[in-house]
Structure 1
Amino acid sequence: MEAQPSLSPAPPSTTPNAPRAVASSFARVSLLMYALLIVYASWYPFSGWRDMGLGPFDYLGSRFPYYWTGFDIWTNIAGYIPLGLLGVFALYPKVRSGWAVLLAALGGALLSGCMEAVQTYLPTRVPSNLDLLTNAGGALIGALLGARSCRYFLQDGKLLGLRRQWFTREASRGLVVAGLWPLALIYPQNHLFGLGHVVPPLSALISDLLDTPIDLATLWLNHAQLSAEQYWLTDLIVSACGLTGASLLLIQMMRKLAPRRTLALLYLLNCIAVKSLASALFFAPQNAFVWLSPSAFGGILIGGMMLIGLSFAPPTVQRRIAALALILSLLTTNAVPANPYYISTLQTWVQGKFLNFDGAAQFLSILWPFLAIWFLYHPVHRKQK
């Protein structure tokens, strides 16, 4: 007798290759970091706080500012577009479509309203209802873009497939940190990759609190100065350690089948492009590569040779060496006196209309090594095999 085929259909949920919507740690960490950047940029330089007898929300009922430019409008809109987009991504898949757009846009408007309110007490800032309107508009545009693209980036897109194929499952936080490294290099540094220079901002903060000039570097270095050879050696060490630590942070998150050395090279080239573009924009076009001193070039060569050898090491070894390299770079950067060339560079650093961007760039340059060390020692690595 011929067997009869089964008439009971297979449940659709058993399809093994069906994409499943999951929450994105990358989007949520990115949203938090971007919100912190907005806070820092909006209240920079955090000095001269005063009470002018105005309420923090009096600006809402004021007329629009007399003087404004198209540049101001577009930068306010552009600055909040990523916030709205990341807000929708962070809510996915719990909240989607119209509700996600509404919550992300409302969150952006509330954040902008608080930033403008606090600016009432800062002498270098002027709260503006026009800024609030344009910031809220940027958050709404970003939220609409996020709603149209979140499925592609978070569920069934090619980028998501490459992320799963090349990087470990625990890499979400680390990819955020790695992505911030090129941006952290925009602000001029005492050394090429010498991020985390906390002495100048701490000196400014203490001076503002005590209402008297305080230079921490002078206090603990006792007016010490290095010779030209010592500055050259210090720059070489810091540049090599900074490059090695940041690149190993990226490499140790990759799977064995990922093109590690190719991705690390593209990562470094991207950093060089961002650094050069920033130098050309904030100084002068002919100074695009002014940061590439002989010692910095030597640090890149040494760091590159170290990466070639360490790319074959186990991820645990790469992670530990990356953390040690970043700690050494951080300690050396803050332990030596500022290079006179670095001081003259800051004097020619053009802020102008980029005051908000300047504050965010400085904040990233200080915070990044601490974020990287936090990730490299995060307990999630204990679960990796």
Structure 2
Amino acid sequence: MAARSHSSLAPAFALAYALLVAYACLHPLTGWRDSGLPAFDWLWAPWPKYFILEDLLFNILGYLPLGLLLAAALPAQWRFARKALVAALLAGLFSFGLEALQNYLPSRVASNLDLGGNAAGGLLGALAGARWGGALLGPQGRLQRWRARSVIGGRSGEAGLVLIGLWLLGQLGATDLVFASGDLRSLLGIPAPLPFRPERFIAFDTALTASGLLAIGLFVRCMTRGASPLPVLAVIALGIGAKSLATWIFFEPGAPLAWLTPGAERGLVIGGALLLPALLLPRLAQHAIAGTSLLLATALVNLIPENPYLPFDRRLAGFSNVFSFHGLTGLVDSLWPYAALAYLSALGLWRGEHLAAAPASAQPAPRRRARR
């Protein structure tokens, strides 16, 4: 069968990233109204005398991956200039549409400066994607070869990779809990059901971290081929790195490991001790334990008391992009385990043969019948 002219990974990633950007730009999606001003009056407004450089850089960096993914999703036979131009134009039009919608949200301000920063980021990403996108995401690219070798095939594998990316994004949220997702309290405005006590918080933190580590480790195993633990360890390491970065930015500048509380430390040890032997179990058992661990971790994160000793850095509250990013990561972090449970259920229904099959490295070679 001839290879397709473009990778199916890039369109899936581009669509997922575009949806995330749209939510971040339109968060909190409430209070829609007509301001009475001309719909595109902001587009011709004078250039602002004062602006926050960090916000402008955030806009550029936020749209850079979108331009890259859009360029990588375009047909491989297109020339460099055509791919870069079309991808940059799509990113710019997408930003223009979101800025126009912001004009109808009381908590957002449409800005030609934001549009310029977004368009610049999309252009830079489009140039990078037109140049290197094929080598990374193309049919014969590195990521595509790794995906064919290490991840289950079809849409199931693509959906699993998107969910892993969303889980990593959730670890960048402004929460001090590691490997914890599914907290609906902040999303629904529900207070913590239990008051804070040090011994109670440590116990919850330990159980939550251990079950969360076991859940994400086995979730990765359920969507990968073979028996190598490297993909599992890589995702866990990336998650710890993302949580450390978020802690350094949002909570304790200069102390990226402030999230490593006594409970989290114990939970990592216990979760690791449970995960290592679980990686040797049959796939069906791993699938069941992954779902059970996800349910347990989700229940615990909705019961754990609030930690009053690691407050959010209020200096960042004035940055509009921090508000958008916090809303985005909060939504992803709150809904991720429910999407992951649905994925595991679908994986069991649609790809039962993958779960029931033993790893290729563990299957004995077929015997040849000796000739008489």
Calculate the TM-score normalised by the size of structure 2: 0.82
Whichever residue aligns with residue 318 of structure 1, its letter is Q
Q: Which runs of 5+ in 1 are unaligned?
A: 1-12, 14-18, 204-215
In structure 2, distance between residues paired with 1:182 and 1:349? 25
Is 1:244–1:325's contact at 8 Å kept on the other side of the alignment? yes
Residues 342-364 of structure 1: per-residue CA shift (max 9 Å, x gap) = 7x624658344333332332233
1:127 deviates by 0.9
1:49-198 paired onto structure 2 within 5 Å: 49-93=32-76, 97-153=80-136, 154-170=138-154, 171-189=157-175, 191-198=177-184
Is 1:282–1:349's contact at 8 Å kept on the other side of the alignment? no
In structure 2, distance between residues paired with 1:29 and 1:184? 19
The question of 1:294 aligning with 2:262 is answered yes
1:155 deviates by 2.5
The question of 1:307 aligning with 2:275 is answered yes
Residues 181-233 of structure 1: per-residue CA shift (max 9 Å, x gap) = 23211223363222121221222xxxxxxxxxxxx347xx4xx5364433322
In structure 2, distance between residues paired with 1:65 and 1:349? 23
1:258-277 paired onto structure 2 within 5 Å: 259-260=228-229, 262-277=230-245
Is 2:180–2:212's contact at 8 Å kept on the other side of the alignment? yes
1:319-334 paired onto structure 2 within 5 Å: 319-334=287-302
Whichever residue aligns with residue 169 of structure 1, its letter is G
In structure 2, distance between residues paired with 1:371 and 1:88? 28
| 1:39 alignment partner, one of 2, 10, 22 | 22
| 2:222 alignment partner, one of 249, 252, 257 | 252
1:58 deviates by 2.0
Is 1:40–1:363's contact at 8 Å kept on the other side of the alignment? no
Q: Which runs of 5+ in 2 are unaligned?
A: 358-372
Is 1:26–1:176's contact at 8 Å kept on the other side of the alignment? no
Residues 87-140 of structure 1: per-residue CA shift (max 9 Å, x gap) = 122334597755544443232122211221222233443211122122122222
> For the structure 1 residues 374 and 92, does the alpha-carbon distance in structure 2 shift closer, same or farther, using more than 3 Å as the test?
farther
| 1:378 alignment partner, one of 329, 346, 350 | 346
Q: What does residue 199 of structure 2 align with?
A: 229
> For the structure 1 residues 199 and 252, does the alpha-carbon distance in structure 2 shift closer, same or farther, using more than 3 Å as the test?
same
Which structure: larger Rg? 1
CA-based RMSD of the aligned residues comes to 2.8
In structure 2, distance between residues paired with 1:233 and 1:24? 46
The count of residues paired between Structure 1 and Structure 2 equals 348
> For the structure 1 residues 329 and 45, does the alpha-carbon distance in structure 2 shift closer, same or farther, using more than 3 Å as the test?
same
In structure 1, distance between residues paired with 2:188 and 2:6? 38
1:38 deviates by 0.9
> For the structure 1 residues 373 and 104, does the alpha-carbon distance in structure 2 shift closer, same or farther, using more than 3 Å as the test?
farther
